[in-house]
Copies of this chain bind each other. A is one copy, B any other.
Amino acid sequence: MAMTTTSKKQIKFGFDFTSVPDLVACIQQLNNWGYSYACIPLVHAKLKPDATTLDRSALVSRADVILQAETWNRVVVKLSEHLNLDLADSSTRDRDAELFRQEVSYASYLNVFAIMFQLPLNGCMPNLARLVNVALHENMFINFYVRVPMTCGGKGDNNGICDSDDNSSGTTDTWKLWSAFSAACDYHRSVCLALELSFDLPDQQELDRWLGEPIKAVIAPTSIFLTNKAGFPVLSRPHQMFINKLFDLDACIFISGEPNQNVKPYFEYLSFIHDNNKSDKLYSYSYGYEDLLQVPLQPLINDLDNNVYAVFEQDPIKYQQYEKAITKALTDKVKSGSTEVLTVCVVGAGRGPLVNASLNASDKSKVAVKVYAIEKNENALHVLNYNNENYWHNLVTVVGADMRTWEFEEKCDILVSELLGSFGDNELSPECLDGAQKLLKKDGVCIPSSYTSYLSPLQSQTLFNNMKMFKSNTPMEYLHENAEQIYVVNMRNMYIISPAQPLFTFNHPRSDLERNNNRYTTLTFDIQQDCILHGFAGYFNAVLYKDINISIEPSTFSTGMFSWYPAYIPIKSSVTLKKDEQLKVHFWRLSDASKVWYEWSISKPNSMPVHNPNARSYSMQLH
């Protein structure tokens, strides 16, 4: 289940200055334009000719006295481009390493927003990676923006210490370079991607893969724009679509143009695109909480509070679908014109949205119903009783009980519940409904009648880092590992490596109640392109009744429904996947008398340890 806010996102714009003779004038221009960030060379242009000396007192021309401290906070500085940090010649290399250190140290002192440098396109960068690691160790609060072009026609030059075979093909896969560099920096959260857009876009798979990287800045050269009939800059349709996804990631967009070029029309055009952006269905339902991990609710052991009920009751789709499903079931049960009264039990009634749906369905189907509302949360019972008196004409029987233990002589025709978690069964709907099945007549109907969990492999350095840094406010167990816990998360900064596949299905009612709800399934995913596995997205698709579904699985998503964020199921360490390889995943649902849990492992392309053996880190409590 998910939370929602209504805040509207602010777009971040900046300008990429190639040369800044006068810093004060540059910032003034930025303020006039009304944009947030300036990207400037750290070293003054006039210093360039003798920048190879270690005495760089002319850096004083950028001295902190010129700008106020808070203005530096809006400046991204670019390190000198001529530094040869992986040169075979050790004396030049060592000198340039010292220059690099000086520049980073000075930028850190200025407390700039970020430090930008270009990734060498010849792939020769172990020493650069080392220097970045050292800088991160020495300066706690710096952020690096690593500038990488989205595509690169030719391979870079090679006079470095690396073998030239690193780069023997005609074109450079810049994603691989970035990915290797990022790994060499241990996927540090302060080493972010500044993606430089190109006029020719790569194919959709490659575009999507970039979206799984921690993009914090986007460089949009004016050269990627077209000119429309009226003479104004516009973007091709594919560029528009891609840049809208970058807006969603909250990346800062830097226009990069010729000196003295009037770039205002470019900003205006991008603002126009942003304001007219109808985010796609997956992203439309909420703002806020992007990529923030939350522990799933455990409704069997924790009572929900009033606020949670209030938020979820606002879902515009879910209760419509329930109402349709109950209407159809009532109609199917009773011959037209009959005066038979059907019994509906709403189990886990909460504050009553499914009672409303049942009463509405009765009106629509013209089938009379007797409704029981069963709820174990004694606080919610007050609201149910209030609603019964004030809105339901005391026609509803409110019962304070656990559906699994309540005794009911009469038996009902329809058992309605909303017990699903993001990953389908992960809030223990199977166990609850098995327990409540005794309330149902032999030919009775369960709504939902079945549900299936789905799994997609995903790449997301951001989710993976957030998982590793996650601090739960629940008490830490002895062996608890963050990677052996399931999360719910409003996923943005990620790439779905392969479409979701069905994992576990549960049907209600079922005839083999003596069997447990344990499951073991193996899924095999084909890998379309080189990428990095950081875990799995988990979804569900539920059949409420016959053809009426609710789903958060992307291919069948119930547009507009916001009650569930997807689940994130992490792995302990990231896995490099190669094009045409297979990824084989094993997933178990297991239980004992007090709890239910998942275990998972990977056997292809390489074996990974079994995660969460014997529920050592994570379980869902039955009592």
Contacts and interface: CB of A to CB of B under 8 A. Distances in A.
Contacts of A162: 522, 584, 603
A518 B94 contact: yes
Nearest to A130: B610
Given A133-B614, A601-B126, A607 B524 contact: no
Contacts of A522: 126, 161-162
A163 interface: yes
Interface in A506-542: 518, 520, 522, 524
Contacts of A205: none
B603 A126 contact: yes
A524 B520 CA distance: 43
A226 interface: no
A599 interface: yes
A576 B522 CA distance: 23
Interface stretch (A176-184, A338-346, A547-555): A176-184
A136 B613 CA distance: 9
Contacts of A438: none
Contacts of A146: none
Given A93-B520, A162-B522, A184 B610 contact: yes
Contact of A607 (B184, B586, B588): B184
A152 to B, nearest CB: 18
A609 B161 contact: no
Nearest to A613: B133
Number of copies: 2
Nearest to A612: B133
Contacts of A584: 162-163
Contact of A129 (B518, B576, B601): B601
A469 to B, nearest CB: 15
Contacts of A182: 607
A122 to B, nearest CB: 13
A586 B130 CA distance: 10
Contact of A163 (B186, B524, B613, B616): B524
Contacts of A94: 518
A608 interface: yes
Contacts of A520: 90, 93, 127, 161
A69 interface: no
Contacts of A129: 601, 607, 610
A241 interface: no
Contacts of A606: 180, 183, 576
A129 to B, nearest CB: 6
A606 B138 CA distance: 26
A185 interface: yes
Contacts of A136: 613
Contacts of A126: 522, 586, 601, 603, 610
A573 interface: yes
A134 interface: yes
A87 to B, nearest CB: 10
A471 interface: no
Interface of A: 90, 93-94, 126-127, 129-130, 133-134, 136-138, 161-163, 179-186, 518, 520, 522, 524, 573, 576, 584, 586, 588, 599, 601, 603, 606-610, 613-614, 616
Given A126-B610, A127-B520, A182-B607, 16 more contacts: A126-B522, A126-B586, A126-B601, A129-B610, A130-B586, A130-B599, A130-B601, A133-B599, A134-B614, A162-B522, A162-B603, A181-B607, A184-B607, A184-B608, A184-B609, A185-B609
10 contacts: A127-B588, A130-B588, A130-B613, A133-B613, A138-B614, A162-B522, A180-B606, A181-B607, A183-B606, A184-B610
8 closest A-B pairs by CB: A186-B609, A133-B613, A183-B607, A180-B607, A126-B586, A133-B610, A137-B614, A134-B614
